[in-house]
Amino acid sequence: MQLPLQIKSFDHYQEVYQQSVDNPESFWAEQARTFDWHQPWDKVLEWDFEGPNVKWFPGGKLNITENCLDRHLEERGDQTAILFEPNEPGDPAISLTYRQLLDEVSKTGNALRELGIGKGDRVCFYMPMVPELAISILACARIGAIHSVVFAGFSAQALADRVNDAECKMIICSDYNKRGAKTIPVKEVVDEAMGLGCPSIETVLVHRNTGGDIGWDPSYDKWYHEATEGQSTDCTPEVMDAEDVLFILYTSGSTGKPKGVVHTCGGYMLYTAFSFLNVFQYQPGDVYWCTADIGWITGHSYILYGPLLVGATTMMFEGVPTYPDAGRFWEVCEKHKVNQFYTAPTAIRALMARGDEFVEGYDLSSLKVIGSVGEPINQEAWEWYKEKIGKDTVPIVDTWWQTETGGMMISGLGGHSPQKPTFAGYPLPGIQPCLVDKENIQEVEGNPASGLLCVKFPWPSMLRTIWGDHQRCKNTYFSTVPGMYFTGDGARRDENGMYRIVGRVDDVINVSGHRMGTAEVENAIDEHPEVVETAVVGYPHDIKGQGIYAYVIMGPGDHNGDEVRKEIIDIVRKEIGPIAKPDKIQFVSALPKTRSGKIMRRILRKVAAGEADQLGDTSTLLNPEAVDDIIRGKR
């Protein structure tokens, strides 16, 4: 079996990078040819960033699951594809070989077809990290259905919004979810979402996970084990065009409702495999572990697709880093002799705070590459990771990318790249990032430099559109800097051209590696009947990276602060989910506004960060007195 190119040294990287920029089409065509296609593409690339219109390998026909599964059978049919580590450390790990995984995917694919799901239909997932989640996602891809996975921590309202936006025909869920010492009623949230109104749903397919009691509506509820029982292990793959939609994944933006980011089959397949091989320097036989949840893009690209496409052994972990204690990650690394480990800075900081005794004593000598993703990693966390986990010898890859980019964009390549704490490093082959001055919207050349992080040229796994709202895709990503993809991040380049991501420059905050739109949280808080106006900002938080700080104006009358705070938190939990609940709520009588009535978020951010001494001139505000009031009441 052929694999995409794997870079072998920094010199090799530089050479390949140059080729990929000089001749992107021939570079990517050569990589794409290493996969199995039913029919070759008509052309490699068609693009303009005005539309935007981006097509990679149009006319090419494939099914991504044949590349994830069938084509491995000959060489590694009996090798573990998915290694499942359960929540309870005492429970046995489950291993699914490539052959077994294909059989399970096929059975589920046939079951879905029998339930009326076909090419182009949307299937929503609301499910914990269990093997059936991976199996049924791949089953969708097998039959050409579009998966839309919703992180199982979102509320019923958030789930219903996403189901309705994509007009899903089916929800696949579990009865309950085990996370650490908690058992979470998953089906109950789905029932609640159905109660809110999900008219497009025909079936709720329920996986029996814990076996606990659940509500049941015979008009649409069906058991997963009954639907898959007795199904054939042959499931003819749907032949897809490279540009047919593979999945939708909702993510937060700076305006109100979450956006359904659309990824397509061919380019996504190529780029997730290519980037996985190169960033993690995966070698046959290695055990790779990404601790993300499949509900986020990291899980899609680097628990499922990327690793399976190259025939890796990929681990899925059901639990949490601190159960039964803060040594769980390292215990699991030792137990399964993990070679590549990929996690988020928030987890590193949380474990670092628990103390080194939870790391000491575990044998981490199998580790070859350790990775970070989701938010900027601060120097202290980087150094702890390097020293305590990497024993000062294992390279760290700090991987910058986004839901929209589909795959890792700027990162070291295993041990082959120079490393510098807090710097993601150099772009992957085929990726052409640049910095744009935010005042005059011109590219800033030379080093060092700083500006808005943009990308000048299409790459295979970039988003194609926002589900049902192409205009929004254009406005959000392709209008700020004409002719370029704008990431929403600010960055700088050092004198050697290494990139450091500074953080979001829009109204998106990053809480424990989870993206959150401040507007979304504000809209939720505004649902409280006595709330008049709200402004939400991020502030530096030791563990979470950013915390959520809400400034709230209440209507007339007597409001007991703590009681109202609790009500507000409950509303946010209900509207979005516990991940969005404010860490701090400050009641204010006014919000600082410009003369044109715009909230001065810069001031709110400074106050929340405890930097009220750096506000600068506030005299031109409509209501400068509001600022003093806010500073006095800071929480």
Which of 109, 144, 327, 374 lies at the binding interface for ligand WTA (CB under 6 A)? 374
Q: Does 343 bind ligand WTA (CB under 6 A)?
A: no
Taking alpha carbons only, the member of 599, 568, 596 closest to residue 584 is 568
Which of 504, 528, 565, 606 lies at the binding interface for ligand WTA (CB under 6 A)? 504
- Kindly report whether the peptide bond that precedes residue 52 is cis, defined as omega within 30 degrees of 0: yes
Number of residues that bind ligand WTA (CB under 6 A): 24
Cβ closer to ligand WTA: 70 or 489? 489
Q: Does 515 bind ligand WTA (CB under 6 A)?
A: yes
Cα torsion for 429, 435, 436, 437, to the nearest 10°? Answer: -170
CB of 448 to ligand WTA, least distance (A): 18
Q: Does 517 bind ligand WTA (CB under 6 A)?
A: no
* Residue 623 phi, psi (nearest 5): -135, 70
From residue 501, alpha-carbon distances to 45, 133, 400, 549 in Å are 29, 32, 8, 23
The Cα 247–Cα 136 span in angstroms is: 13
Q: Does 520 bind ligand WTA (CB under 6 A)?
A: no
C-beta of residue 532 within 8 angstroms of C-beta of residue 599: no
- Classify 483 in phi/psi space as left (phi over 0), alpha (psi -120 to 50) or beta: left
Q: Does 303 bind ligand WTA (CB under 6 A)?
A: no
Cβ closer to ligand WTA: 318 or 489? 489
Q: Does 398 bind ligand WTA (CB under 6 A)?
A: yes
Please work out, in degrees rounded to the nearest 5, the angle formed at the alpha carbon of residue 506 by the alpha carbons of 502 and 510. Answer: 60
Q: How many residues does the chain have?
A: 635
Helix residue spans in 218-367 (DSSP H): 224-228, 265-279, 297-299, 306-309, 328-336, 345-354
Q: Does 243 bind ligand WTA (CB under 6 A)?
A: no
Residues in 573-602 at the binding interface with ligand WTA, rule: CB under 6 A: none
160 SS3 class: helix
Cβ closer to ligand WTA: 190 or 428? 428
| Residue with the shortest CB distance to ligand WTA | 403
Q: Does 424 bind ligand WTA (CB under 6 A)?
A: yes
Q: Does 545 bind ligand WTA (CB under 6 A)?
A: no
297 SS3 class: helix
Which of 299, 307, 406, 488 lies at the binding interface for ligand WTA (CB under 6 A)? 488
Q: Does 103 bind ligand WTA (CB under 6 A)?
A: no
* β-bridge partners, 124: 148, 171
Cβ closer to ligand WTA: 95 or 422? 422
The Cα 474–Cα 481 span in angstroms is: 11
Q: Quick one: which segment of 221-229, 310-318, 500-508, 536-544 binds ligand WTA (CB under 6 A)?
A: 500-508
x/- contact string, 201-240, with ligand WTA (CB under 6 A)?
Answer: ----------------------------------------
From residue 287, alpha-carbon distances to 82, 94, 316, 326, 601 in Å are 10, 14, 11, 22, 45
Burial class (CB in 10 A: 0-12, 13-18, 19+), 620: exposed
Q: Does 272 bind ligand WTA (CB under 6 A)?
A: no
* Residue 478 phi, psi (nearest 5): -120, 10
From residue 627, alpha-carbon distances to 540, 549, 560, 586 in Å are 20, 16, 23, 13
Half-sphere CA count of 103, side-chain side, radius 13 A: 9
Q: Does 401 bind ligand WTA (CB under 6 A)?
A: yes
Cβ closer to ligand WTA: 330 or 499? 499
Terminal-to-terminal C-alpha distance of the chain: 59
Which of 376, 429, 458, 545 lies at the binding interface for ligand WTA (CB under 6 A)? 376
Taking alpha carbons only, the member of 486, 482, 440 closest to residue 463 is 486
Q: Does 251 bind ligand WTA (CB under 6 A)?
A: yes
C-beta of residue 300 within 8 angstroms of C-beta of residue 288: no
CB of 501 to ligand WTA, least distance (A): 4
Which of 65, 108, 402, 512 lies at the binding interface for ligand WTA (CB under 6 A)? 402
From residue 563, alpha-carbon distances to 24, 405, 513, 584, 608 in Å are 59, 42, 29, 14, 22
Q: Quick one: which segment of 168-176, 280-288, 395-403, 591-599 binds ligand WTA (CB under 6 A)?
A: 395-403
Which of 403, 417, 461, 546 lies at the binding interface for ligand WTA (CB under 6 A)? 403
Q: Does 318 bind ligand WTA (CB under 6 A)?
A: no
Residues in 353-372 at the binding interface with ligand WTA, rule: CB under 6 A: 372
Cβ closer to ligand WTA: 291 or 372? 372
Taking alpha carbons only, the member of 318, 332, 340 closest to residue 131 is 318
The Cα 499–Cα 491 span in angstroms is: 7
Q: Quick one: which segment of 57-65, 292-300, 458-466, 625-633 binds ligand WTA (CB under 6 A)?
A: 292-300
Cβ closer to ligand WTA: 60 or 376? 376
Q: Does 489 bind ligand WTA (CB under 6 A)?
A: yes
Cβ closer to ligand WTA: 76 or 504? 504
CB of 275 to ligand WTA, least distance (A): 12
C-beta of residue 98 within 8 angstroms of C-beta of residue 106: no
Q: Does 501 bind ligand WTA (CB under 6 A)?
A: yes
Q: Does 298 bind ligand WTA (CB under 6 A)?
A: yes
Q: Does 297 bind ligand WTA (CB under 6 A)?
A: yes
Pair of tokens at residue 59:
């006319």
Q: Quick one: which segment of 194-202, 280-288, 393-401, 427-435 binds ligand WTA (CB under 6 A)?
A: 393-401
Q: Does 399 bind ligand WTA (CB under 6 A)?
A: yes
CB of 399 to ligand WTA, least distance (A): 5
Which of 70, 104, 165, 375 lies at the binding interface for ligand WTA (CB under 6 A)? 375
**Which residues are at the interface with ligand WTA (CB under 6 A)?**
251, 296-298, 372-376, 398-403, 424, 487-489, 501, 503-504, 510, 515
